[in-house]
């Protein structure tokens, strides 16, 4: 992989990318899939996605580690890499990420609305069942009882 199109991540992300690339080169691509699934939604592991700006840096590091180059040597080589990327490419990726976020937000909103509707339906059902179960039975304590009388009526 050439150094064209590589954007270097900030230090905190860079250490995660380097460690991940080293582990994946050692354990294989299945390990990458495991990391991706376990960290779904974690922005610090966004570089595992192809449309992430740091993905090319990750692939570059993965290639270096896969060739057996030690981390210290890759750090020296890394200094000589000059990140070159067209602004239009970066803007296109940003727009795509925003569109993806909008779609996810829309889907989440629809799911919430469906859940609320289902909850309302369930509440109505419960109310109807409760109304059916309510049976008013006479209470013997509150009922008046006639006392027998010894009077004879003519």
Q: What mean pLDDT, rounded, does the chain reach?
A: 78
Please tell me which residue, 67 or 131, carries the higher pLDDT value.
67
Measure the CA–CA gap between 122 and 52, rounded to whole angstroms: 42
Least confident of 10-19, 58-67, 122-131: 122-131
Rounded to an integer, what distance in angstroms lies between the CA atom of residue 138 and that of residue 132?
A: 17
CA distance 46 to 57: 12
pTM above 0.75, yes or no: no
- Pairwise pLDDT comparison (127 vs 147), residue with the higher score: 127
Is the C-alpha dihedral spanning 69, 75, 77, 81 positive or negative? positive
Q: Of 71 and 110, which is predicted with more confidence?
A: 110
pLDDT at 134 over 60: no
The pair of structure tokens assigned to 90 is 């970066």
Start-to-end CA distance of the chain, whole Å, equals: 122
């Amino acid at each position: 992989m050439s150094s064209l199109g590589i954007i270097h991540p900030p230090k905190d992300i860079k250490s995660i990318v380097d460690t991940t690339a080293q582990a994946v080169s050692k354990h294989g691509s299945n390990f990458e899939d495991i990391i991706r699934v376990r960290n779904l939604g974690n922005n610090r592991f966004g570089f595992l996605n192809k449309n992430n700006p740091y993905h090319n840096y990750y692939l570059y590091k993965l290639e270096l580690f896969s060739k057996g180059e030690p981390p210290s040597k890759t750090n020296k080589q890394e200094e000589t890499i000059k990140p070159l990327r067209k602004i239009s490419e970066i803007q296109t990726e940003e727009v795509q990420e925003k569109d993806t976020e909008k779609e996810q937000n829309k889907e989440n909103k629809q799911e919430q609305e469906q859940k609320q509707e289902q909850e309302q339906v369930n509440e109505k059902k419960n109310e109807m069942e409760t109304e059916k179960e309510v049976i008013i039975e006479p209470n013997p304590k509150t009922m008046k009882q006639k006392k027998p009388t010894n009077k004879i009526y003519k």
